[in-house]
Amino acid sequence: MPASPRIAVILDENTSGGGHRYEAAKGYFRAVRDAGGLPFGVPYFSEVVEVVLDEFDGVLSTGGRFACPADWYIEVEGSKAPPSERFEVERAILLGALERSKAILGLCAGMQMLACLNGCRLTRDLHERYPEAIEHDRRDYLHPVALEPGSALAGLVQAPSLLVNSFHREAVVQVAGPVSPSAHAADGVIEAIEVAGQRFALGLQWHQELLIGTSHPGDAIFEGFVEACS
């Protein structure tokens, strides 16, 4: 029997509580395991970067709220979020994974990091800039997203749309380079992106890991991710 691919899961942290604890929903790990992979949590130490790139088959970048560089935003003030030790370690891991064409799945903040490393830009406060947008920062709220026909995401899910959760303040508002949007909310907000020229480099603005166990069609995204790591 072939060995299960090993997936590095970049941990989140409690930035709202001072950043003293690592955090990660169990759904990230269950989703990878259920799709046939072996997940391992990755802390924010520079020493782990080369280990992840040399010894792991793929990278899962989790959600979180932390500041990115000011020039990644369309607002001159930069992010409203707190800084985090996570940023530099995650950037190094994702850049290395992109260079080696390792499989990458980014969720929420992970999608934003993946997008901006490829030239995209964010807004620091979606509803401040676009007050007419639907509610995007409410954990108990579900809304539909339309998948871009012909995208890798649509190919995985085999459906024209999905009903997803949504709790984010920042959002990708400008795409560039090899990045293309692969899903939009009804208000036009970009809900997923993919990076051309990579084995698998997909970002979701929603938290698919929280839908694990509900027979959600988006589970196929984790299955495609793990398969790309094999």
Mean pLDDT of 208-229: 96
CB atoms within 10 A of CB 119: 13
Task: Write out the DSSP string of 45-80.
Answer: -TTHHHHHHHH-SEEEE-----PPPGGGBSSTT--S
List residues bridging with 9 in a β-sheet.
41, 60
Nearest of 190, 179, 181, 209 to residue 107 by alpha carbon: 209
With b for 16 or more beta-carbon neighbours within 10 A and e for fewer, the 99-113 pattern comes to eeebbbbbbbbbbbb
What are 54's two structure tokens?
Answer: 């040399």
Judged against a pLDDT cut of 70, whether residue 185 lies above it is answered with: yes
Local structure of 211: helix, strand or coil:
helix
pLDDT of residue 135: 83
Q: Are strands 22-23 and 12-13 parallel, antiparallel or unpaired?
A: antiparallel
Judged against a pLDDT cut of 80, whether residue 139 lies above it is answered with: no
pLDDT digits (tens, 9 = 90+) for 112-131: 999 999 999 999 998 888 89
Judged against a pLDDT cut of 80, whether residue 2 lies above it is answered with: no
Question: What average pLDDT does the chain have?
Answer: 95
User: What distances in angstroms separate CA 130 from CA 79, 127, 140, one per listed residue?
Assistant: 16, 5, 21
pLDDT digits (tens, 9 = 90+) for 17-44: 778 899 999 999 999 999 999 999 999 9
Residue 31 near residue 219, CB atoms below 8 Å: yes
What are 205's two structure tokens?
Answer: 């603005």
Judged against a pLDDT cut of 70, whether residue 1 lies above it is answered with: no
CB atoms within 10 A of CB 70: 12
Quote the CA–CA distance of 194 and 151 in Å, as a whole number.
8
